[in-house]
A and B are shown apart, each in its own frame.
Chain A
């Protein structure tokens, strides 16, 4: 089945550091990738939608300059948390989807990244 790889799985770093998270689709071309944030025992909140070759569409309340998204190829999207602070600590998870016309195609999720900012 479709596989999405997300790295790193866990990051612990100091306040002020920028952290890059990678999301790769391993066996299909992901025209669209999604980035979610999940706080403990809460639901997934969509942060942004990333289409290959174009600027990401951010959800209301998500800072574009804080969470930089790049989707340079059909198999790779990156999320960079710039100048991370303790309040950015969370579980970040990406998902990928193939052809947009196939509405019943599920989003395939990466295993997530636990980000802890000290």
Chain B
């Protein structure tokens, strides 16, 4: 079963509008972390925002905020005031513990965001 699900292969938004990128996850571990990364066409992975499973408040970083709904197991990314430079692939990822210690990230399939004039 998929652990991280991003149901929107592609999204379009007009410049200066807000957009929400969906992410749902599945885990039985009470301690986990959720990350969002941006990947422009050049390929590098840019860390955007983090939400811990025990965090009481939704994470915010500038124009990025994370709508964390623990009971629904969703961690949607909200980008406010979209800019042309926001056009990229966005990945949701979950950190979970692995057997023997340590942890790893599991990535969703990504959402391609296109910001239009």
Contact = CB atoms under 8 A, between A and B. Distances in A.
A27 B70 CA distance: 35
A108 B47 contact: yes
Nearest to A44: B107
B11 interface: no
Interface residues of A, number: 25
Interface residues of B, number: 27
Interface stretch (A11-19, A64-72, A77-85, A109-117): A109-117
B102 A51 contact: yes
A74 interface: no
Interface string A21-64: 00000000000101000000111111001010000010000000
A12 B104 CA distance: 30
Interface of B: 31, 33, 35, 37, 42-47, 50, 52, 91, 95, 98, 100-110, 112
